[in-house]
Structure formats: structure tokens, C-alpha cells
Amino acid sequence: MERRKFLTLSSLGISALSLSSFKSAKGTLRRPLVISTWDAGIEANKAAWKVLRGGGRALDAVEQGVMVTESSQNCCVGLGANPDRDGIVTLDACIMDELGNCGSVGAIERIKHPISVARRVMEKTPHVMLVGQGAQQFAVEEGFPLEEQKLSPDAKRSYENWLKKNEYKPVINIEKTQGHGPFAPNKLDTGEWNHDTIGMVAIDANGNLSGSCTTSGAGFKMRGRLGDSPIIGAGLFVDNEIGAATATGQGEDVIRICGTHLVVELMRQGLSPENACKKAVERIIKVKGTEKSKQIQVGFIAINKQGEYGGYCIQKGFNFAVCYADDKNFMEDGKYIL
């Protein structure tokens, strides 16, 4: 939509949020826009889009979006998810706004919405990260109810199988979705889909960026293990001048390269979101080596300040959900290197 028409409609009081794309010298720009990892992102995007289309802040959108996934009792995110190797579900989440504020919780137990606790850490404490019992104590003080852990049937079966087959030791995480996403029920009891994450980044009608990331982490992980998802600059990074990125997959390898910070810095140097994600994936492969990289999956997704988006992963099978209009919420396959 031309800028002149956009301004005219705005002056007539027609919501700018119905104008989800317009033309500029750089091409078609999407704004507002929300993208999120894996096919659970479709439902999460819907909740985020409700906020964005109503003129809401990207921060509220990314919180409310991933709360849907945290509530969903699937095997990979939230209280019904895969437990650690001791059978306890521990959750990690982080959130970051357009002002560079950020908050995070790690290894929190019995809390349904770690993303909202992460936001409280950001807004109500002088800190960025709270972990373990301290995070739970803070959540309770803030009025979050302590829930009973209740593994979903899939997670229970998956854990029981894992105990038998893997002889009580951590496994290397592999996320090969072949287009069906990590939540495909037929995969959950094989031990193959042993972790995942929802990461979401959004730009609102005012051009402000925010992001969120939440996970139960690696399935059957060692007790106390944190991945990339609660770490700002690894699982999530936002720079309101440039763009925002989030990650999914083997957290250890994302941490090693400060993955999402790298993606944003590459966008600062002029790369498109897709190319920035690709370079970050290449960095992981370079650090880890090609053969070892074939054993893992990492995917990055990113948006820039202009409302362009993209994603890239190590190997075939990663996809992400893109939403920029009431009738535009769809899956895109991540391009891959190996």
C-alpha cells in the first residue's frame, strides 16, 4: 500500500492494523508481523496477531502468543512436556522488548507460564535471570499458582521408553521433523523428538520489536541443565534499531556462537534475515564440524525493522509459522545446509 493511501486511511480512522503490507523503495514490507518456530507456531501466532491487529505492543503479542503453546499440554513445551532424566519437568523462558529490557527464568518447576514469570523478572526486579527454586519463589510471590506436574500421556510414554532404551543417560537431541513438526504424536515415544522450543519474534504497527522463547529444554536432560532458550543473545535477541531473532534446536550449540545475537549483528551489517540466519547456521557447522553437525538440528528465524523475515536450519525438517494478516498465517520450510 502506498504511504499516501496509508496516511489517508489513518486520518479517516481506519485501523492501520488492517494494512499489513505496503510498498516502499525496498519492496513489500510487512508490518505488523509475527513469526514463530515449528507448527505449534500457527496457534501461537493467532494469539499474537489478536494483539497486533488491535494496535497492541509487540511485547504483549509475543507473551500471549507463546502462552498458548505453554498451555497446550504437548510434549515439548509447558508443564506436560518431556521431563529431565529424573522425571521432573523444568522449564526455561526469556523475553525481550524494544527498549532492550529483558527477563528470563531457568529450570523453573510447577509454573504453567514461565514466559510471564520472565516478564515479571524483567519488569519488577533489577535482574535479568532467576533460576531454580529462586525463580519459583519469585513466581509464587508474584501470585503465580504452583501447579502439580502432570506429564502428558505422550511425555509419560516417551520418558518410560527412554528409561528403558537409553539406560538412564542423557541423549543427543535430534529434531528431524520432515515437515510434521516436533509435536507429531507418532514420534514422541521414539525418543527422537526429545525436545523443542517455541521462539517468537514480532514487529508491531509502531515498528517496535519484541521476542519470546519458552521450552522444557532437552528431553531427559541432566538435572540442572540449561539450554539456549533462557539466555539472552543465545535463544533470543532483539535490537529495536535492527531486528530480532530466536532459535530452536540443540541449545548447547546455539550458546557456543551466541546465535541470535550473531544473527542480529549480521542483519546490522546489511544481511537479510534469511541470509543472517544462514550465516549463523554456517558458523555452528564450522565450529562443530560437518559430521557432528549432521547429528543435531538448529534453526534460526529472524525479522528486521523493515518487516522482512527469514529462517534457516542445519538440516531438512525445520519449519516456522508466519503471520501478517487475518488470512495470512502459514508455515514456511526453513532452508537448510546439510
Q: Which residues bind ligand GLY (CB under 6 A)?
A: 195, 197, 215, 217-218, 227-229, 248-251
Residue type, 90: T
To ligand GLY, the closest distance from the beta carbon of 248 in angstroms equals: 5
To ligand GLY, the closest distance from the beta carbon of 321 in angstroms equals: 17
User: Nearer to ligand GLY by C-beta: 192 or 308?
Assistant: 192
User: Nearer to ligand GLY by C-beta: 297 or 304?
Assistant: 297
Beta strand residue intervals within the chain, DSSP E: 21-24, 27-30, 33-37, 91-96, 102-108, 129-131, 197-203, 209-215, 236-239, 243-249, 298-304, 309-313, 319-325, 328-333, 335-336
Non-local (6+) Cβ contacts of 333 within 8 A are 179, 318, 319
> Nine-digit cell at 70?
505453554
Instruction: Name the DSSP class of 193.
Output: B
SS3 305: coil
Q: Which residues are catalytic?
A: 197
To ligand GLY, the closest distance from the beta carbon of 215 in angstroms equals: 5
User: Nearer to ligand GLY by C-beta: 151 or 198?
Assistant: 198
To ligand GLY, the closest distance from the beta carbon of 20 in angstroms equals: 30
How far, in whole angstroms, is CA 144 from its chain's centroid?
Answer: 22
Judged by phi (left if over 0) then psi (alpha if -120 to 50, else beta), residue 196 lies in beta
Residue 89: name the closest of 155, 142, 134 by CA. Answer: 155
The radius of gyration of the chain's CA atoms, rounded to the nearest angstrom, is 19
To ligand GLY, the closest distance from the beta carbon of 216 in angstroms equals: 8
- Taking 3-state DSSP, the helix, strand and coil percentages for the chain, each rounded to the nearest 5, stand at 35, 25, 40
User: Nearer to ligand GLY by C-beta: 49 or 220?
Assistant: 220
The cell 499458582 sits on which residue? 145
To ligand GLY, the closest distance from the beta carbon of 318 in angstroms equals: 12
User: Nearer to ligand GLY by C-beta: 52 or 107?
Assistant: 107
To ligand GLY, the closest distance from the beta carbon of 78 in angstroms equals: 14
Distance (Å, whole) CA 111 – CA 90: 9
CB atoms near residue 300 (< 10 Å): 33
- Cβ neighbourhood burial of 26 (10 Å; 0-12, 13-18, 19+): exposed
Number of alpha carbons in the 13 Å side-chain half-sphere of residue 269: 10
